[in-house]
A and B are shown apart, each in its own frame.
Chain A
Amino acid sequence: MEPLDGNVAGGMLREVFALEVTAARGRCDGCGAEAFLAEARAYVDAPGLVLRCASCDSALLVLVRGDGRVWLGVQGLTWLELRA
């Protein structure tokens, strides 16, 4: 099953960001590649959302929702450019 891209995570990420964060550029902490989050490989069928670098497959961002709580992990991103 081929992964989709970060576009599909847009709605989920709007639960935690007040911006359209899939349109933000990020830098992969694993390999240094820079890309829009929309271009990351998205695994949405998991127990949570995992966005992986399209160049090296490192996990950039992980989002788990359940029970009214949301956990966001972004340690795979060196930075996210939050102002265009």
Chain B
Amino acid sequence: MVVSRGFRGRGRRDDSGRVPPGQYLTDDFPVLSAGPTPQTSLDEWSFTIGGEVDEPRRWTWDEFRAVPSETVTVDIHCVTKWSKLDTTWEGISVDTLLDGVETSAEHVVAFCEGGYTTNLPLEDVTSGRAWIAFGYEREPLDAEHGGPARLLVPHLYFWKSAKWVRGLALRNEDEPGFWERYGYHLYGDPWREQRYWGD
């Protein structure tokens, strides 16, 4: 390892136990994108729950914002090795959106404006583990960070917290999403360092 004297990056190691293995703590909020930032008009925005369900559900922006939301403070961990603690989000629990939806599906694909997708087990977006977030640090979520709304699943690596989310498709099979098809882990638990395919 060739160390450059005096270089300190944006991240730092942390021994508090709140930072998963291999991660560096940061105070910034880096913007990582696989494609252009969509500019969505709220008039055109909708969120859909579909796939293997008895009846699909759909919300316009106004309908969506009328659903009870909550504010949560969580730690987030990006597979590119930065972690940020105590981030505050406002959003609607996915449990609330799934309330009354009948399904035997065990998997979910989040699909997004611009074509990004990611896959998760249904149980990882329920039981209070996931939100559709529209506010960050008490402001509306910036487009570059996923606004108008993104999926928020803090217990998994942050590529699973899909930006510009437009819906959840419930599936009987686990279908790898964008990064999962290109080498990232199907599940993505930061505490077991499940970064890459087969880890």
Q: Tell me the A residues contacting B by CB distance below 8 Å.
A: 1, 3, 41, 43, 45-48, 50, 52, 57, 59, 62, 64, 66-67, 69, 71, 73
Contact = CB atoms under 8 A, between A and B. Distances in A.
A73 B181 contact: yes
Name the residue among B31, B34, B80, B179 with the largest chain A CB count within 10 angstroms: B34
Where chain B touches its partner, the secondary structure class is: loop
Interface in B36-94: 36-37, 78-80
Interface of B: 30-37, 78-80, 144, 159, 179, 181-184, 195-197, 199
9 pairs of A and B residues whose beta carbons are closest in the complex: A71-B183, A64-B183, A62-B182, A46-B34, A50-B34, A73-B182, A66-B196, A45-B32, A47-B79
B34 A43 contact: yes
A43 B32 CA distance: 8
Contact of A71 (B33, B144, B197, B199): B197
Contacts of B184: 47-48, 64
17 contacts: A1-B33, A45-B33, A46-B34, A47-B32, A47-B79, A47-B80, A47-B159, A52-B35, A52-B36, A57-B36, A59-B35, A66-B195, A69-B183, A69-B196, A71-B182, A71-B183, A73-B183
A1 B182 contact: no
Given A47-B78, A73-B181, 20 more contacts: A1-B33, A1-B37, A41-B36, A45-B32, A46-B33, A47-B34, A47-B79, A47-B179, A47-B184, A48-B34, A48-B179, A50-B35, A52-B36, A64-B179, A64-B183, A64-B196, A67-B196, A67-B199, A71-B182, A73-B183
